[in-house]
Structure 1
């Protein structure tokens, strides 16, 4: 009889405690913000036109020149931009930023699964999702930084396009939500104490 009682006590200890409304709200808000960041980053990468300077439009995929008739003439050969290392630099930038979106999608999926399928592994799934979101921030930030370094001679504050600011905001959201996700997971449930039973 005592063995059955001990087993029942262990099962109760390992069962996930009921979440408060506040915690559920915060986790839902994190998931929503990550989803918005994924959408913003996806739009920014797909459009790819990030900087307008001196009649030239620099992008991840194309380089465009505004002609006399105000029509954009775009080419995929980025060497025509007359910027040293433009072709190779943009390959690196767009690869890193695109990979950031893919990693963020997997992180978002883990966050959602951890909330929908609540079990003893939910906390671990949430942590893994938050780490992936933070990794998305690092990749996105590296992509934005490499773009700025590559085109440092052409940068003006008013020259940045809306899609560039979408990527910048998405990068900030990835950072804030990745850190918030890890923090809320550490302060909510004392799982280490529960495992001692």
Structure 2
């Protein structure tokens, strides 16, 4: 009976504690914000036209210039912009923001699974998802910064397009929700408590 009692006590210790309404609400809000960030970042990457300056439209995938009839003529050959290193720089920028979207999708999936599957590993999945969001922030920031540095001679606040600001906001949301997710997990279930509740 003693062995059975000890085993039952250990299983109760491993059982996931019930969450309060406030904690559930905050976690749901984080998931919603991450989903919005993924959508914004996806739109920014797919559109790719981030800067309009001096009659030229610079993008991740295309370069456009105003023609004689005031119509934009676009080409995938970025070297037509006559900017040193633009082909390599844009390849790096679009690779970083594309990786950011992919990693964020995996992070969002882990966050959602951690809420749907009520088991002992759900909080670990939440932490892993939050870490992936921070990684998405690093990728997104690298892409945005490389774009700005590459086109620093054309930069103006009024020249940035709406899709650029979508990427900027999504990078901020990745960081904010990643940090918030880790902090919330630490506040509601410290790792030291997990070790104390071990067998």
TM-score under structure 1 length normalisation: 0.98
How big is the shift at 1:191? 5.0
- 2:36 maps to 36
In 2: Cα distance, 1:35 partner to 1:68 partner: 42
How big is the shift at 1:118? 1.1
How big is the shift at 1:73? 0.2
- Match of 2:73, SS? strand
How big is the shift at 1:99? 0.5
- 2:73 maps to 73
Matched ranges for 1:30-179 at <5 A? 30-179=30-179
In 1: Cα distance, 2:99 partner to 2:91 partner: 12
- Match of 2:44, SS? helix
In 2: Cα distance, 1:128 partner to 1:95 partner: 23
How big is the shift at 1:79? 0.4
Runs of 4+ in 1 over 2 A off after TM superposition: 190-197
In 1: Cα distance, 2:160 partner to 2:51 partner: 5
In 1: Cα distance, 2:122 partner to 2:198 partner: 19
Unaligned runs of 5+ in 2: none
- 2:182 maps to 182
How big is the shift at 1:190? 4.0
- Match of 1:70, SS? coil
RMSD (Å) for aligned C-alpha atoms: 1.0
Map Cα deviations across residues 56-112 of structure 1 (whole Å, 9 max, x no partner). Answer: 000000000011322110011100001110011000100111010000000000000
How big is the shift at 1:176? 0.1
In 2: Cα distance, 1:87 partner to 1:69 partner: 27
How big is the shift at 1:174? 0.3
In 2: Cα distance, 1:34 partner to 1:109 partner: 10
In 1: Cα distance, 2:142 partner to 2:105 partner: 18
- Match of 1:64, SS? strand
Matched ranges for 1:4-15 at <5 A? 4-15=4-15
The range that moved more, 182-191 or 132-141, is 182-191
